[in-house]
């Protein structure tokens, strides 16, 4: 329960009914990976709500839109601090600001993409690389016909130029969209340049130093997960013994154990 304090109404942009001494962010604490994966989903929902003119949002509403239970939403948000008032919900704009802050958005995050085939070009044109502080700092490939062409004003350079470009504008995040056979050498190049995080779309397991953040995005794996649930949702496979019903997959990015 939130006890009103002497600071109500002193937080800029926050109504006195939603502000209290307990609203200050809690001391730094480890946020579980499953919670981190859900924060961008909450962020996107809140952004849409704020743009629609919504000022207050309840945990039940967030839970329904994110397809998780309300207690999990409240637990996730508690890692950020105490921002809600029982019976009144959360100030939507302020909560959005706190999630943005926790996600490190609003800063300058130079991103490079290596591999400008169909997938790489689609990623380079994605709005996600041009908002919330993510800046497209470099595009690289080895195909001669692509070199010199531009995507959103950024020229595609030969991979041989990566070192010089990275020295002038050190990238924070590297995206690998190459064939599987080229992914590890590219990862080595990114690591050597000091890239701290790699998003790998190539269907290959990579080896990188422990301090480098590495995430995989593999469409075939996601499709196999979907086929697993679909095959059991529609009944047992021919010739297979009946199995207990399984919960279906949740919204993208929210698949995690209930204990997370």
Per-block mean pLDDT, blocks of 10 residues, the chain (260 long) = 30 32 49 92 95 93 94 92 73 93 87 96 84 88 96 95 94 96 97 96 95 93 90 66 49 39
pTM as predicted:
0.73
Q: Is the four-CA dihedral 103, 105, 110, 116 of positive or negative sign?
A: positive
- The span from the CA of 148 to the CA of 99, in Å, is 38
Length reported for the chain? 260
Using CA atoms, how far apart are residues 116 and 124, in angstroms rounded to an integer? 8
Q: How confident is the model at residue 237, as a pLDDT?
A: 60
Q: What is the pLDDT of residue 174?
A: 97
- Which CATH fold topology does 21-103 show? Arc Repressor Mutant, subunit A (1.10.10)
Tell me what pLDDT residue 95 has.
94
The 10 Å CB-count burial string (b at 16+, else e) for 6-19 is eebeebeebeeebb
What CA–CA distance (Å, rounded) separates 219 from 222? 5
Q: Which two tokens stand for residue 171?
A: 């990238």
Q: 96: phi > 0 → left, psi -120 to 50 → alpha, else beta; which?
A: alpha
Give the pLDDT of residue 220.
87
Q: What is the pLDDT of residues 142-177, one digit of tens each?
A: 999 999 999 999 999 999 999 999 999 999 999 999
From CA 195, how far away is CA 213, in angstroms rounded?
9
* Greatest alpha-carbon span in the chain: 68
User: How are the residues of the chain apportioned to helix, strand and coil, as percentages rounded to the nearest 5?
Assistant: 40, 15, 45
Domain with CATH 3.40.50.720 in the chain: 109-219
- In this structure, are strands 56-57 and 89-91 parallel, antiparallel, or unpaired? antiparallel
pLDDT value at residue 107: 79
What pLDDT, on the 0 to 100 scale, is given for residue 140? 98
* Backbone phi, psi, residue 77, to 5°: -70, -20
CA 126 → CA 119, 222, 241, distances in Å?
Answer: 11, 20, 45
Structure tokens at 219: 């469409």
User: At 198, is the secondary structure helix, strand, or coil?
Assistant: strand
Beta strand residue intervals within 109-219, DSSP E: 109-114, 134-141, 150-151, 154-158, 173-176, 197-200, 213-216
> For the chain, where do the domains classified as CATH 1.10.10.10 start and end?
21-103
pLDDT at 159: 96
Q: How far is CA 125 from the centre of its chain?
A: 17
How many CB atoms are closer than 10 A to CB 117?
A: 13
Residues 197 and 190: their CA atoms lie apart, in Å, by 9
> How confident is the model at residue 240, as a pLDDT?
56
Superfamily of domain 109-219 in CATH is NAD(P)-binding Rossmann-like Domain (3.40.50.720)
First to last CA, the chain: 24
């Amino acid at each position: 329960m939130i006890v009103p304090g002497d600071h109500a109404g002193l937080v800029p942009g926050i109504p006195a009914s939603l502000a209290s001494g307990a609203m200050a962010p809690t001391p730094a604490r480890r946020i579980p990976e499953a919670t981190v994966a859900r924060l961008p989903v909450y962020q996107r929902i809140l952004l849409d709500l704020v743009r629609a003119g919504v000022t207050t949002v309840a945990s039940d509403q967030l839970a329904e839109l994110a397809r998780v239970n309300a207690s999990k939403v409240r637990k996730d948000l508690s890692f950020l601090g105490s921002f809600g008032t029982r019976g009144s919900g959360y100030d939507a704009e302020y909560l959005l600001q706190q999630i943005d802050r926790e996600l490190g958005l609003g800063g300058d995050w130079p991103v490079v993409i290596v591999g400008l085939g169909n997938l790489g070009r689609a990623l380079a044109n994605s709005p996600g690389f041009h908002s919330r502080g993510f800046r497209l700092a470099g595009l690289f490939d080895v195909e001669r016909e692509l070199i010199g062409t531009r995507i959103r004003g950024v020229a595609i350079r030969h991979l041989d130029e990566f070192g010089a470009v990275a020295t002038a504008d050190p990238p924070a995040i590297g995206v690998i969209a190459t064939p599987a056979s080229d992914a590890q050498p590219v990862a080595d190049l990114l690591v050597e340049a000091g890239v701290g995080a790699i998003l790998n779309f190539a269907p290959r397991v990579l080896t990188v130093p422990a301090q480098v953040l590495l995430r995989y995005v593999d469409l075939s794996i996601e499709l196999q997960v979907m086929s697993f649930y679909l095959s059991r949702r529609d009944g047992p496979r021919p010739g297979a013994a009946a199995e207990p019903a399984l919960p279906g997959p949740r919204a993208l990015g929210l698949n995690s154990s209930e204990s997370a």
